[in-house]
């Protein structure tokens, strides 16, 4: 049939993209079972350890447990990403309540590091989308803001309503993101400080997921500010049409 060069190319690209996504989803599914079996075996062994287990073996087991955990976190995120396009986005989500929920769920982590979580009062704002994904979006940003903060620091979340959008700011008092990395941090598997991030179990997919959720909801995300005093992520989302 008739297929002008440009639309042909667009179609081929789009086909390639969908099959890549499908491949990722299938691959992640296939990884899940063997991983789950390894984890189950390790846990079983841990419950009934050999009385004469030497220190080296114990160390090996602890390492295996940590790394399988990391792998399964990674696989879970990959699965979430491949399934994201099919999640319905028809909920009306109240932003203030959503922020409250995220901060409450992350307060044990913040307390451990003596970081205060502050929510600035905002009027009622309704977002349209998936409440699961919007929760995940804010959760990841606030979790990073705690994780890459300094002890005794603070995380402040605020929102400002514009004409038909709302801008949500997540502000931390960490040591900032180098200028050269401010676009790259959204790329899959990128970490500014690999050893620090890995120590927390980070795989470098958090912000990739965040940006994908923002885009699925017709919004934008940027690093509004980042210096030695801290970083501010700004997310703009369309508000629910009344
Ligand atoms: P990770 O799983 O490593 O946290 P992310 O995709 O969430 O992956 O973040 C990518 C990298 O961006 C992190 O490893 C960290 O180096 C950097 N980063 C993210 N958020 C912040 C922040 N609020 N302050 C400083 N650095 C950050």
pLDDT surpassing 90 at residue 68: yes
> Contact 126/137 with Cβ under 8 angstroms?
no
Write down the pLDDT at residue 205: 92
Look at residue 242 in the predicted model and tell me its pLDDT.
Answer: 67
Closest CA to 77 of 166, 165, 237, 203: 203
Residue-averaged pLDDT of the chain: 91
φ/ψ of residue 214, rounded to 5: -55, -45
State the pTM of this model.
0.86
Spatial CB neighbours of 56, under 8 Å, sequence gap ≥ 6: none
Cβ of 98 below 6 Å from ligand 1 = no
146 CA to centre of ligand 1 in angstroms: 10
pLDDT at 159 over 60: yes
Q: What is the 3-state secondary structure (H, E, C) of 168-229?
A: EEEEECCCCCCHHHCCHHHCCCCCCCHHHHHHCCCCCCHHHHHHHHHHHCCCEEEEEEEECC
Ligand 1 pocket member 197 (CB < 6 A): yes
Lookup result for tokens 């890995």:
198
**Residue 117: CB within 6 Å of ligand 1?**
no
| Residue-wise pLDDT tens digits, 186-202 | 999 998 887 777 777 67
| Nearest protein CA to atom 20 of ligand 1, as residue | 144
Query: Which H or E element spans position 160?
Result: strand 154-161
- Position 178 scores a pLDDT of 95
pLDDT of residue 1 exceeding 60: no
pLDDT above 90: percentage of residues in the chain: 67
pLDDT-derived band at 170 (thresholds 50, 70, 90) equals very high
Q: Which two tokens stand for residue 167?
A: 């801008």
Phi, psi of 172 (to 5 degrees): -125, 175
- Which of 176, 195, 206, 226 to probe ligand 1 with, by most ligand atoms within 8 A of CB? 206
Percent of the chain with pLDDT over 70: 98
Asked whether 223 lines ligand 1 (CB < 6 A), one says no
Q: How far is the CA of 232 from the centre of ligand 1 (A)?
A: 12
User: Would you say residue 3 has pLDDT above 80?
Assistant: no
Asked whether the beta carbons of 95 and 122 are under 8 A apart, the reply is yes
Indicate which residue's Cα is closest to atom 8 of ligand 1: 204
Three-state DSSP class for residue 51: coil
Q: Quick check: CB of 174 below 6 Å from ligand 1?
A: yes
What is the 23 CA–ligand 1 centroid distance (Å)? 27
Number of H helices, E strands in the chain: 6, 7
**pLDDT number for residue 193:** 83
The string of pLDDT tens digits covering residues 29-41 is: 899 999 999 999 9
**Which run of H or E residues covers position 92?**
strand 91-94
Q: How confident is the model at residue 50 (pLDDT cuts 50, 70, 90)?
A: confident
CB 231 less than 6 A from any atom of ligand 1? yes
Structure confidence by residue, pLDDT tens digits, 190-237 = 988 877 777 776 788 999 999 999 999 999 999 999 999 999 999 999
Q: What is the pLDDT of residues 92-105, one digit of tens each?
A: 999 999 999 999 99
What tokens appear for 241 in the block? 């049409």
**Residue 7's pLDDT band (cuts 50, 70, 90):** confident
Q: Is the CB–ligand 1 distance for residue 202 below 6 Å?
A: yes
In this structure, what are the phi and psi dihedrals at residue 119, rounded to the nearest 5 degrees?
-115, 120
Does the structure show a pLDDT above 90 at 118? yes
Q: Kind and range of the H or E element at 147?
A: helix 131-147
Q: What integer pLDDT is reported at residue 33 of this predicted model?
A: 92
Sign of the Cα torsion 11, 210, 188, 190 reads positive
Distance 144 CA to ligand 1 centre (A): 6
Summarize the confidence of residues 155-165 as an average pLDDT: 95
Task: Using pLDDT thresholds of 50, 70 and 90, give the confidence band for residue 2.
Answer: low
| Any ligand 1 atom below 6 A from CB of 61 | no
Alpha carbon of 108 to ligand 1 centroid (Å): 20
């Amino acid at each position: 049939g008739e297929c002008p060069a440009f639309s042909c190319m667009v179609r081929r690209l789009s086909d390639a993209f969908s099959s890549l996504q499908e491949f990722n989803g299938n691959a992640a599914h296939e990884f899940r079972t063997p991983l789950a079996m390894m984890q189950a075996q390790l846990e079983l062994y841990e419950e009934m350890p050999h009385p004469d287990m030497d220190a080296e073996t114990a160390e090996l087991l602890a390492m295996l447990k940590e790394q399988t955990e990391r792998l399964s976190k990674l696989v879970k995120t990959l699965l979430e990403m491949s399934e994201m396009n099919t999640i319905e986005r028809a909920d009306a989500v109240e932003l203030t309540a959503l922020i409250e929920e995220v901060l409450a769920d992350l307060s044990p982590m913040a307390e451990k590091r003596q970081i205060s979580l502050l929510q600035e009062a905002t009027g009622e704002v309704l977002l349209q989308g998936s409440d699961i994904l919007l929760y995940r979006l804010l959760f990841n940003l606030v979790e990073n803001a705690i994780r890459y903060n300094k002890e005794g620091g603070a995380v402040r979340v605020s929102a400002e309503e514009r004409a038909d959008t709302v801008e949500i700011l997540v502000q931390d008092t960490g040591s900032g993101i180098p200028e050269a990395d401010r676009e790259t941090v959204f790329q899959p598997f990128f970490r500014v400080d690999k050893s620090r991030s890995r120590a927390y179990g980070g795989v470098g997919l958090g912000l990739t997921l965040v940006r994908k959720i923002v885009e699925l909801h017709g919004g934008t995300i940027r690093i509004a500010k980042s210096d030695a005093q801290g970083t501010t992520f700004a997310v703009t989302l369309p508000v629910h049409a009344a």
